[in-house]
Amino acid sequence: MNFAGIELDLSVPQVMGVVNVTPDSFSDGGTLYSDNALSIAAAVDRAAQMVGEGASFLDVGGESTRPGANAVSVDEELCRVVPVIEALRARFAVAVSIDTSTPQVITAAAQAGAGLINDVRALQREGALQAAADTGLPICLMHIQGEPKTMQQEPHYDDLFGEISSYFAQRIGACEAVGIARDKLILDPGFGFGKTLQHNLQLLQEMHKLQSFNLPLLVGMSRKSMIGNTLNKPVDERLYGGLAVAVMALERGASIVRTHDVAASVDALRMTHAVLSSSLPRKAGNAVN
């Protein structure tokens, strides 16, 4: 798949490093800030570390989507993400993903060099579908029940996989209706987004069912509460649990693993892929093969 000039083979696992340019993300919010101001230099340094560790994507997000997070104005989100995307594209030969639901940010991020639109709301905000279509970029559609601020207030499903599958079918249809080709789409089952611990565990256990869409799958479980609640570990002690679920996701069809812990994830996925494919790892750019 082509991500604004960066070709990546999604038949082998790829790692997406997280570059949070928000002051309030659940895991690392504020680490790129100095004196309450975003440091682009710090963002570039963090990205350089992840690229060196093997990341083939850098996911830039300017609005926290943790449960209870407050909304961010369009201008504030633009100020956070656009300069960082421009700096990353100028420095690194990797795909840059924009984590946003906002039409104006989709447009500006694409103009700044982003190669993937990664939307937790699956382009449901007014104007987002057309804005995404106009960019011509690949799009990751994530499943969510509700809105980030309230999504963890007693989420309920009568049929977890049936409802997620119906959601994806509807959103894929909406994309195709505005001219977005199916082969431009990636699906993310949305671990932790409107789901209880039991929902998340079932979702991972049966994630292979989503391969019926015949589209690449992206997963993001790094440091999330599904790991913390299972292992009774705080955010900064969830690495080993995160590696376990990343490996299981790869076994169940994931193509892209989004993580805060790139080096360890690259090694775990490279080893798993070697076993699953019964071939020796080959060195090819920043891919995890």
Structure tokens of 161? Answer: 């996989």
Cβ atoms of residues 217 and 187 within 8 Å? yes
Q: Which of 258, 270, 282, 283 is catalytic?
A: 258
Task: Indicate if 224 belongs to the active site.
Answer: yes
- Across the strands, what pairs with 16? 57, 258
In the numeric block, the tokens 């509700």 are attached to: 146
Cβ atoms of residues 53 and 11 within 8 Å? no
Q: List, in order, residues 6 or more apart from 277 with CB less than 8 Å away.
A: none
Q: List, in order, residues 6 or more apart from 90 with CB less than 8 Å away.
A: none
Q: Which of 184, 224, 238, 252 is catalytic?
A: 224
Radius of gyration of the chain (CA): 17
Task: Indicate if 223 belongs to the active site.
Answer: no
- Cite the active site residues: 224, 258
